[in-house]
């Protein structure tokens, strides 16, 4: 099977798994990550088949989206082998999809990623910042009944994975301080750093404006 056919099959597989998601991980997120990965792979000279496959599949077996991630990883592996991925290629893709999530980077020994993995991680993180990132945070916060803002609730520091998923005292604005403003400094590649810089600035301007409007009339 040639590479363009393999990519097409992976896209269809991803679509069938992701299109019903309503948590901000739906297929338009996947397509943005894929587009970004395409750009980054070119400028960073990475293996496009591996990065594109991992981009399409990166949220399919996410442990917060599915009950049995191991079962889905097995399904992904069988699918990749069916479309002529070697064992080594399939394992490389699965290693990436398994290890790039933000929650993994909160663990004590964050896994060491290949260049291809770094690129997919950068692309996923870039989609969490800037104008799209702001929109996703509000969307996620709304879906999880978060308070918009409460100046008396301070952002949490040094969260572990469990705390990151505990939304009882979470506010949408605090999510910026707990995660989104940290992502610029966590980019792996030079190309992603440059894009992150602009998006980061946009979020800072947004937060400044937000607080100005919130505190109107107060000194």
β-bridge mates for residue 37, sequence order: none
CA distances in angstroms from 160 to 58, 81, 90, 102, 164, listed in the order given: 22, 35, 30, 11, 6
Among candidates 55, 51, 63, 70, which has minimal Cα distance to 14? 55
Residue 153's Cβ-side half-sphere holds a number of Cα atoms within 13 Å equal to 17
Build a one-symbol-per-residue string for 96-135: x at contacts with ligand ADP by CB under 6 A, - elsewhere: -----xxx--------------------x---x----x--
| 33-41, 80-88, 95-103, 194-202 -> range binding ligand ADP (CB under 6 A) | 95-103
Cα(first)–Cα(last) distance of the chain, in Å? 66
Of 66, 106, 167, 207, the one binding ligand ADP (CB under 6 A) is 167
> Are the C-beta atoms of residues 76 and 98 closer than 8 Å to each other?
no
- Asked whether position 62 contacts Ni ion by CB under 5 A, the answer is no
- Asked whether position 170 contacts ligand ADP by CB under 6 A, the answer is yes
Q: Which of 17/175 has CB closer to ligand ADP?
A: 175
β-bridge mates for residue 171, sequence order: 147
Residue 88 Cβ vs ligand ADP, minimum distance, rounded to whole Å: 26
Residues that bind ligand ADP (CB under 6 A): 24, 62, 101-103, 124, 128, 133, 136-137, 140-141, 146, 167, 170, 172, 175, 179-180
């Amino acid at each position: 099977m040639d590479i363009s056919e393999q990519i097409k099959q992976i896209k269809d597989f991803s679509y069938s798994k992701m299109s019903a998601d309503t948590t901000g991980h739906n297929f338009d997120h996947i397509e943005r990550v894929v587009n970004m990965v395409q750009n980054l792979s070119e400028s960073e000279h990475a293996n496009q088949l591996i990065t594109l496959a991992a981009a399409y599949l990166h949220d399919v077996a996410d442990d917060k989206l599915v009950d049995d991630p191991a079962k889905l990883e097995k399904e992904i592996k069988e699918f990749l082998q069916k479309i002529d991925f070697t064992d080594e290629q399939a394992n490389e893709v699965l290693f990436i999809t398994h290890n790039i999530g933000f929650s993994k980077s909160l663990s004590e020994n964050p896994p060491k990623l290949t260049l291809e993995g770094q690129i997919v991680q950068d692309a996923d993180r870039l989609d969490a910042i800037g104008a799209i990132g702001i929109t996703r945070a509000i969307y996620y916060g709304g879906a999880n009944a978060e308070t918009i803002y409460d100046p008396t609730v301070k952002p949490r520091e040094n969260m572990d994975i469990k705390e990151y998923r505990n939304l009882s005292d979470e506010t949408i604005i605090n999510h910026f301080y707990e995660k989104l403003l940290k992502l610029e400094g966590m980019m792996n590649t030079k190309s992603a750093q440059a894009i992150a810089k602009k998006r980061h600035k946009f979020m800072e301007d947004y937060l400044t404006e937000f607080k100005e409007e919130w505190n109107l009339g107060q000194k």
